[in-house]
């Protein structure tokens, strides 16, 4: 399982970011480079792309939360098949 953290913004001296909105939900499959979450600093708003492909397992920072640079936003698993019970959750999601 890999954690996605609030990145340092190139040239911007922000020490934290606010989670504006999640573009994916827990259980969603995603590809590296796909928009994952919208963040806002004192100077800029941007969509953070997923650095990993896999399944969004857990959102650690809810919308409106202020998260320091370097702190985790969410966890992404390589494959849902490696997480006990996740195949069942994904199957339930697709039948809704």
Within a 13 Å sphere around the CA of 84, how many CA atoms are in the beta-carbon half?
Answer: 0
Q: Find the CATH number of the domain harbouring 91.
A: 2.40.50.100
The confidence score (pLDDT) of residue 29 equals: 96
| pLDDT over 60 (residue 92) | no
How would DSSP label each residue in 5-59? Answer: EPPPPTT---SEEEEEEESS-TT-EE-TTSEEEEEE-SS-EEEEEPSS-EEEEEE
The confidence score (pLDDT) of residue 12 equals: 62
The confidence score (pLDDT) of residue 91 equals: 53
Q: Which domain holds residue 91?
A: 2-95
27-41, 49-63, 71-85: range with lowest mean pLDDT? 71-85
How many independent structural domains does the chain possess? 1
| pLDDT over 80 (residue 2) | yes
């Amino acid at each position: 399982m890999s954690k996605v953290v609030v990145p340092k913004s190139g040239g911007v001296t922000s020490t934290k970011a606010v989670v504006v909105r999640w573009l994916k939900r827990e259980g969603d499959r995603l590809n590296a480079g796909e928009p994952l979450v919208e963040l806002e600093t004192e100077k800029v708003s941007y969509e953070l792309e997923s650095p990993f492909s896999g399944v969004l397992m857990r959102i650690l920072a809810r919308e409106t939360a202020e998260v320091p640079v370097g702190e985790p936003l969410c966890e992404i698993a390589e494959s849902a098949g490696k997480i006990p019970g996740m195949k069942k959750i994904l199957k339930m999601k697709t039948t809704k």
